[in-house]
Amino acid sequence: MKAKVVKENCIGCGACQAIAPNIFELGDDGLSKTIVDEVPKADEEDCKDAIESCPTGAIVEE
Ligand code: SF4
């Protein structure tokens, strides 16, 4: 799976980074971004949890 942060919807709460630190990271702009192109199988559960936990629905699965 792949995941993408829609920056316009991100409020920089950091939840995704806390839940799936192998996938998401807050950038210099204070907003989240993905740090991998393809989500490794071992991190898919964490990634899905992050998607569900994002308060603004800013993470989309691709
Ligand atoms: S959980 Fe959502 S709003 Fe919070 S930093 Fe991640 S993408 Fe942004």
Residues 3-54 pLDDT 10s:
999 999 999 999 999 999 999 999 999 999 999 999 999 999 999 999 999 9
SS (H, E, C) 8-57: HHCCCCCHHHHHCCCCEEECCCCCEEECCCCCCHHHHHHHHHHHHHCCCC
Any ligand 1 atom below 6 A from CB of 15: yes
Domains of the chain: 3-61 (3.30.70.20)
Distance 43 CA to ligand 1 centre (A): 17
Any ligand 1 atom below 6 A from CB of 34: no
Any ligand 1 atom below 6 A from CB of 16: yes
**Per the structure block, which two tokens stand in for 29?**
């702009």
Report d(CA 46, CA 28) in Å as an integer.
23
pLDDT band at 57 (very low <50, low <70, confident <90, very high): very high
pLDDT band at 61 (very low <50, low <70, confident <90, very high): very high
pTM flag (> 0.85): yes
